[in-house]
Structure 1
Amino acid sequence: MDARDARWLGASLALAERGVGRTSPNPSVGCVIVANGRVVGRGWTQPGGRPHAEAVALAAAGDAARGATAYVTLEPCAHISTRGPACSDLLIAAGVARVVTSGIDPDPRTAGAGVARLRAAGIVVDVAAPALAAAAERVNPGFFTRHRHGRAHITLKLAVSLDGCIALADGTSRWITGAAARRHAHLERARCDLIIVGGGTLTADDPALDVRLDGLEDRAPQRAVLSATLEAIPAEARIGDARLLRDLSDLDADPRILAVLVEGGAGVATSLLTADRVDRLLIYRAPIIIGGRRGIGDLCLTDLGSAHGRWRLAAALTLGFDRVEEYDRVR
């Protein structure tokens, strides 16, 4: 692989981003087909998980795919589904000369079998270096977490003041952050399969948990309330049709749920952190000090040493006067 390969893989990753939040239980994959330095076909996984990115890109390329190079963000699948053929077979039939992929598919139905089938057909296959593989995994963290650990990937979102508060002492919380940060949070909603709030947040705020971004209104994910004490979700609540979860066992058992966004409140955040069920922290920090209600309670830590080394800063962005920081759990 060289710098040109990395650039084309980057283009395919950008395409994969277009399907995030709409393809479960499949990952969102991007594919670019290049012949003589020119793109002859491109595609990304379509809503519902089919057609796959390779199928879309090959259909666009037509005969121009013969002898070309296909850049794919995930190993082409090797299993045949009632919903469509295996992408490795499609690439072989199209006559591509080379396939460059960001990484191996963790789905045991493929897990290296796609690469092996392509190579057996005489196609050159290159797998990207770890840095590019990690970038591809960040597009579909839920897919990799589901197949590696048998559960959904959980992002905990907190909007806090500089002193770590999520509301005034009387519970007023609208708005801690400004409009730009709130729009970014709505984009995060559009990228997940399920949003969770706690029973306290449901009662206090009656949230809609929808996506209020022009053009993305239809991207609103499923909604759920996590509460061990709530008897039922009130029918008059704005999310009256949401799922009621007593714990995470039902969520873990549902293969259709890959990426989960937890939006509070403090009780749910504390319980998930204590149970070590948070894979990613998304902290929106406003430049205000309010001395109110804390966003996280007692985590039952016995010493400060055990708190170090657990989180790695993955990204940071300034949004108006606010700042969003993204942290990955180090496992």
Structure 2
Amino acid sequence: MPQTTETTPDEHFMQRAFQLAEYGRGYVSPNPMVGCVLVAEGDIIGEGWHRNYGGPHAEVQAILDAEKRGNEGLLKSATAYVTLEPCSHFGKTPPCADLLIDKKIRKVVVANHDPNPLVAGRGLTILKNAGIEVKSGILAATGHDLNRRFFTFFTKKRPYVILKWAETADGFIAGAGGQPVSISNGYSSQLVHRWRSEEDAILVGRQTVVNDNPRLNVRHWSGISPLRVVLDRNLRLPQALHVFDRSQPTIVYNYLKSTEVPETPERYASEPALAFAQIEKGEDELSQVLADLHKRKVQSVLVEGGTQVISAFINAGLWDEIRHCQSLSRLEEISGVKLSGNAEPIKGIKAPVTSGTLVGFENIDGDLWKYYRFFDSQVYD
């Protein structure tokens, strides 16, 4: 007989907290996505999630929800299921650990400890010292996967890097000389724009800007456009290109000059800025870029560059995830070039070589998307 794995009550309510946390994707960085469920006598009496950067945290929202439902009297007997350790410091909002104590919550169950040095176990210690029962590590792997950008930011001291490209059935990413070709279909394009809305920054190299003149914004999905990151080492790109239109925050990394850039999250800037950041020529240029983005609190980067830029990230080991689309059509079919029997094979730019561990795939109307991860051995609880 097939074996079934029963879900414990703690796991059941934590799974609901994860569902709530997901609603904050694309809106809360550099904060983590957090959901909170308040349970008394086996029933949910309130729930909430962190909705936007600078706004109330999940615990606050859940308590407000409980009070709105008329369940304030049940808080003293309630268990709070929170996807991440409650904060213990004053930031844009007061400490959530203090709020849980003030409301006399009986028990707090969390998936993960917070890797932020400003918290790092202090939140749970404060709760324990106040006499609140604490339990941690419930569905910890799921919690880490949910906030893998947040964990990478603090443990690796760089943004979480996602490499994305589409290639033809015969392995080309572009036509001869980098000529743009439309490889993926409209449904895949919509998916990519959703991904853009979920990440802090989008990065391309100079040649992609020259060949495609991309806007690098979110158009086919609702959400916030990412910070544009352009690698233009010698500042040769014409200022008339879309990346310089100041429609969204943009940083150009180069060898020649720097301009002042606020360290607050540029993605939420009310007045999009165009800035230049100088890097030193050398083998660690990508590391310099990621270190600078880390300093600016950028937690994730979607790399949509060409083969040269993507391969550089792969070869340097500076990536965490690959999202790779393969079309059913060959380059000659997509480009519309008809070859005679004696013609030379069509020329184009070969796609990067994929590496990592395959973790999933999906077929989107003929486009085969494959997803890879670069795993390390660290365990988070």
Pick one of 72, 86, 89 that aligns with 1:76: 86
- Deviation >4 Å, runs of 4+: none
Partners of 2:325 and 2:297 lie apart in 1 by 28
When residues 221 and 8 of structure 1 are mapped into structure 2, their CA distance, relative to the original with a 3 A threshold, is: same
> Structure 1 stretch 30-39 or stretch 72-81: which is displaced more?
30-39
CA deviation after TM superposition for structure 1 residue 172, in Å? 4.0
Identity of aligned residues (%): 34
| Aligned residue identity for 1:323 | L
Match of 1:301 in 2: none
Deviations 1:7-33 (A, max 9, x none): 221121122112122222211211121
Partners of 2:242 and 2:37 lie apart in 1 by 42
When residues 287 and 65 of structure 1 are mapped into structure 2, their CA distance, relative to the original with a 3 A threshold, is: farther
Check whether the contact 1:193–1:221 (CA below 8 A) recurs between aligned residues.
yes
When residues 93 and 314 of structure 1 are mapped into structure 2, their CA distance, relative to the original with a 3 A threshold, is: farther
Match of 1:303 in 2: none
| Aligned residue identity for 1:15 | L
Match of 1:210 in 2: 217
Check whether the contact 1:27–1:49 (CA below 8 A) recurs between aligned residues.
no
Please give the TM-score of this superposition, normalised by the length of structure 1.
0.88
CA deviation after TM superposition for structure 1 residue 263, in Å? 0.4
> Structure 1 stretch 248-257 or stretch 259-268: which is displaced more?
248-257
> Structure 1 stretch 193-202 or stretch 270-279: which is displaced more?
270-279
CA deviation after TM superposition for structure 1 residue 318, in Å? 2.1
Partners of 2:50 and 2:299 lie apart in 1 by 15
CA deviation after TM superposition for structure 1 residue 233, in Å? 4.5
Are 1:13 and 2:18 matched, yes or no?
Answer: yes
Are 1:115 and 2:124 matched, yes or no?
Answer: yes
CA deviation after TM superposition for structure 1 residue 226, in Å? 1.7
When residues 264 and 59 of structure 1 are mapped into structure 2, their CA distance, relative to the original with a 3 A threshold, is: same
CA deviation after TM superposition for structure 1 residue 90, in Å? 1.0
Are 1:53 and 2:47 matched, yes or no?
Answer: no
Partners of 1:236 and 1:65 lie apart in 2 by 58
Q: What value does the CA root-mean-square deviation take over the aligned residues?
A: 2.1
Match of 1:66 in 2: 76
Are 1:146 and 2:153 matched, yes or no?
Answer: yes
> Structure 1 stretch 142-151 or stretch 187-196: which is displaced more?
142-151
Q: How many residues align?
A: 314
Match of 1:327 in 2: 372
When residues 234 and 67 of structure 1 are mapped into structure 2, their CA distance, relative to the original with a 3 A threshold, is: farther
Deviations 1:95-149 (A, max 9, x none): 21121111111011111111122122222222135xx222222222221111111
SS, match of residue 27 in structure 1? coil
Are 1:196 and 2:196 matched, yes or no?
Answer: no
Check whether the contact 2:23–2:51 (CA below 8 A) recurs between aligned residues.
no
SS, match of residue 322 in structure 2? strand
Please give the TM-score of this superposition, normalised by the length of structure 2.
0.77
SS, match of residue 239 in structure 1? helix
Partners of 1:163 and 1:281 lie apart in 2 by 19
Deviations 1:58-95 (A, max 9, x none): 121121433111111111111223x2211111111112
When residues 323 and 66 of structure 1 are mapped into structure 2, their CA distance, relative to the original with a 3 A threshold, is: farther
Deviations 1:253-282 (A, max 9, x none): 324200110001111111111111111111
Matches within 5 A, 1:235-254: 235-240=239-244, 241=246, 242-246=250-254, 247-248=285-286, 249-253=288-292, 254=295
Pick one of 299, 322, 326 that aligns with 1:281: 322
Partners of 1:172 and 1:37 lie apart in 2 by 60
Deviations 1:222-272 (A, max 9, x none): 11112323x155332112132102344244232420011000111111111
Partners of 2:40 and 2:360 lie apart in 1 by 34
Match of 1:256 in 2: 297
Pick one of 226, 234, 249 that aligns with 2:238: 234
Match of 2:115 in 1: 106
